[in-house]
């Protein structure tokens, strides 16, 4: 093999490596799928959105069906308003529910859509009627610790017990 052939092969290998890095960066930033296709917008209101971010996936049964496009605060109700772009191929009943869930124990947050049983479907611009806010790990730990601090120790008599 000539020197020019080896240099061409090395250049091609480096180019493939760069394309692979770009692909991984797009996947890590949630920019590689959903969007640009035929979609419709719906909103959901949450008391606490936790660490949900724009471009977070919207999933049903683990399948990505859309993306979060906007997060805002309603100045009257002080709730987080999450706008979602759903692929047109997925139609949800009007009584569907939206939850903010976490991938794994400390993973990224996403919106989970649970379909309802209504005959009519959500239309563009509708608001999902039932929502469940994000579970904040710090609050759970705080509740657990305070419940353990309030409980009497094993074997110790409860306060106010007859002697």
**Confidence label for 45 from pLDDT (cuts 50, 70 and 90):** very high
Measured CA to CA, the distance from residue 17 to residue 10 in angstroms comes to 11
- Residues 29-34 have a mean pLDDT of 56
Res 34 pLDDT > 50: no
pTM of the model: 0.65
CA dihedral over 101, 104, 105, 110, signed as positive or negative: negative
Mean of per-residue pLDDT scores for the chain: 83
Measured CA to CA, the distance from residue 140 to residue 159 in angstroms comes to 26
pLDDT per residue over 69-110, tens digit each? 999 998 999 999 999 999 988 999 999 999 998 887 777 889
Higher-confidence residue: 68 or 160?
68
């Amino acid at each position: 093999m000539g020197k020019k052939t080896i240099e061409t092969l090395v250049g091609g290998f480096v180019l493939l490596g760069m394309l692979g890095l770009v692909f991984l960066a797009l996947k890590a930033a949630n920019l590689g799928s959903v969007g640009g296709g035929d979609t419709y917008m719906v909103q959901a209101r949450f008391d606490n959105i936790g660490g949900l971010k724009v471009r977070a996936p919207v999933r049903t049964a683990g399948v990505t069906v859309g993306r979060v496009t906007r997060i805002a605060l309603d100045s009257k109700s002080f709730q987080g308003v999450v706008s979602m772009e759903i692929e047109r191929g997925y139609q949800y009943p009007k009584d569907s529910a939206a939850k903010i869930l976490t991938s794994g124990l400390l993973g990224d947050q996403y919106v989970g859509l649970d379909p309802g049983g209504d005959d009519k479907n959500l239309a563009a611009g509708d608001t999902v009627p039932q929502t469940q806010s994000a579970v904040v790990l710090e609050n759970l730990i705080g509740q657990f610790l305070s419940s353990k601090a309030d409980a009497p120790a094993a074997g110790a008599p409860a306060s106010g017990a007859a002697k």
